[in-house]
Amino acid sequence: MSGSDDHKKGRRLQPHSSAWFEDALSASPIRAITSGHVIGATGCTDVCGVCGDRPARDYDDAEPPFRSVRLCDDCRDIQTLGFGARLAPRADPSADAD
């Protein structure tokens, strides 16, 4: 099942997983490319997909299409306070789909 199919079926993808990148490249290429550059520069996938800071936490958009993102506190605040994004923290990361 491709990442886009996962989202159509309501599955939430783990940020920075291969399925997440597949979905993000088609749905939000700037997010995918930015995160790919950050991960390449830091050599880690558990970093904020915007700036590369740690710690970073996984969030889901609270509105359709419910895409996931991994953000540090500062980048989360910029997204929510600055751009009005509605993000819900992931309660159980073990339930994420790959």
93-97: Cβ within 8 A, 24+ apart: 93/14, 93/58, 96/12, 96/13, 96/14, 96/17, 96/58, 96/68, 97/6, 97/11, 97/12, 97/13, 97/14, 97/19
pLDDT tens, residue by residue, 27-65: 989 999 999 999 999 999 999 999 999 999 999 998 888
Q: Where are the domains of the chain?
A: 3-90
pLDDT tens, residue by residue, 1-22: 444 554 444 568 999 999 999 9
pTM, to two decimals:
0.81
Which of 65 and 67 is assigned the larger pLDDT? 67
Looking at residues 70-89, what average pLDDT do you find?
97
